[in-house]
């Protein structure tokens, strides 16, 4: 086997790095084609969830957003809350995966909070999903909603915050 000089090694390394950068660049170009030029966030789908009039006070309704693997709940609190939408500003939605370890959250109707059965973190949906107790250090990702007053429909349109276990909310 022939000895590889420093010069030839550097030339070969440079060529390999250039080829790798070109492949990565073409992948980024494909991702940018899907997003609007100059966009800093990826486009979320707009998905119908339910009608505002169909929601009952303090009764969560499960749905999936932005994909089938992301579990969420929408809640009508019965009084205006930060980030609330709908006729009374009292409808909010959140991811129901704990931000500590991704465990499923359950809604406690009496306490009006989301609770994690794994490590006992507690989140307040009436305060924008704020973490109020436990080992978690992040608030719940909030599902941004739109209300169509023409037919009373509620739509999920984006996620504010990062869903547990993901580097990007859109897979």
Annotated catalytic residues are 100, 119
Question: Nearest 5°: CA angle at 71, between 110 and 145?
Answer: 80
Q: Omega before 170 cis (within 30°)?
A: no
Contact indicator for 60, 107 with CB cutoff of 8 Å:
yes
**At a CB cut-off of 8 Å and minimum separation 6, what does 20 contact?**
none
Task: Could you list the beta-strand ranges (E) of the chain.
Answer: 47-51, 61-64, 71-76, 91-95, 105-108, 113-116, 122-124, 130-133, 142-148, 153-160
DSSP reduced 3-state for 3 = coil
């Amino acid at each position: 086997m022939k000895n590889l000089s420093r010069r030839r090694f550097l030339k070969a390394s440079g060529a390999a790095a250039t080829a790798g950068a070109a492949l990565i660049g073409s992948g980024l170009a494909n991702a940018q084609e899907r997003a609007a030029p100059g966009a800093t966030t990826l486009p979320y789908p707009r998905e119908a969830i339910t009608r505002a009039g169909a929601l009952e006070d303090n009764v969560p309704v499960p749905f999936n957003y932005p994909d089938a693997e992301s579990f969420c709940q929408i809640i009508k609190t019965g009084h205006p809350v930060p980030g609330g939408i709908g006729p009374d500003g009292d409808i909010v939605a959140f991811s129901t995966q704990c931000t500590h370890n991704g465990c499923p959250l359950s809604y406690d109707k009496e306490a009006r909070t989301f609770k994690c059965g794994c490590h006992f973190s507690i989140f307040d949906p009436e305060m924008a999903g704020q973490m109020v107790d436990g080992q978690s250090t992040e608030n719940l990702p909030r599902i941004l909603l739109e209300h169509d007053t023409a037919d009373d429909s509620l739509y999920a349109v984006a996620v504010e915050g990062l869903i547990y276990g993901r580097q990007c909310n859109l897979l």
